[in-house]
């Protein structure tokens, strides 16, 4: 069973599903969780523009760590900065360096054309990562069978 879970969260509402799934798995396996939040930036010409300020990034990370801690999970948080084109690589590298044996993240659903032009981070992490990758559903109100 998984002992070290990396939960990669962004600013989208989907992060709540990632955290819920991480909490459930961590409690079942008595696993440790590391929450990773990457403050994204974009590069245009010779200029790098931050897409999330430091206070926002820290608040997202702190809220995620607090939610897991309140759920009774052994958790720590890590904040990183990366260009949008390097987010998948940053997640995969963080998973290997920790070392995690499971990565949980949210797949941002896109249309086929948009996914072709701008691939999903979750797809890139799944292809680059050497650890198991679990995609958290955007909505956890699915029927239980």
Q: Are 4 and 97 in contact (CB under 8 A)?
A: no
Q: Considering the domain boundaries, does residue 117 fall inside one?
A: no
Handedness of CA 91, 57, 121, 66 (dihedral sign): positive
Question: Do the domain assignments include residue 123?
Answer: no
Domain count, the chain: 1
Q: pLDDT digit string (tens) for 18-27?
A: 999 999 999 9
Q: Which domain holds residue 56?
A: 9-110
Q: Tell whether 64 is covered by a domain.
A: yes
CATH number at residue 47: 3.40.50.620
Residues paired with 133 in a beta bridge: 103
CA distances in angstroms from 132 to 6, 32, 62, 104, 110, listed in the order given: 10, 15, 25, 9, 23
Is 33 inside any structural domain?
A: yes
- Is residue 143 predicted with pLDDT exceeding 70? no
More confident residue, 39 or 124: 39
* pLDDT for position 108: 66
Report yes or no on 102 lying in a domain: yes
| pLDDT at residue 82 is higher than 70 | yes
To the nearest whole percent, how much of the chain has pLDDT over 90?
A: 62
* 86 is a domain residue: yes
Residue 29 counted as domain residue: yes
Residue 135 lies in a domain: no
pTM: 0.85
Averaged pLDDT of the chain: 87
Contact between 36 and 132 (Cβ < 8 Å) = no
């Amino acid at each position: 069973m998984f002992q070290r879970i990396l939960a990669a969260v962004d600013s989208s509402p989907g992060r709540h599903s990632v955290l819920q799934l991480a909490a459930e798995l961590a409690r079942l396996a008595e696993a440790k969780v590391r929450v990773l939040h990457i403050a994204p930036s974009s590069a245009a010409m010779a200029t790098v523009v931050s897409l999330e300020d430091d206070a926002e990034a820290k608040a997202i990370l702190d809220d995620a760590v607090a939610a897991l801690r309140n759920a009774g999970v052994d958790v720590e948080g890590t904040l990183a900065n990366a260009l949008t084109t390097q987010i998948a690589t940053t997640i995969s590298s963080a998973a290997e360096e920790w070392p995690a044996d499971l990565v949980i993240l949210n797949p941002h659903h896109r249309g086929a054309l948009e996914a072709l032009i701008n691939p999903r981070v979750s797809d890139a992490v799944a292809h680059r990562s050497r650890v198991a990758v679990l995609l958290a559903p955007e909505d956890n109100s699915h029927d239980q069978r």
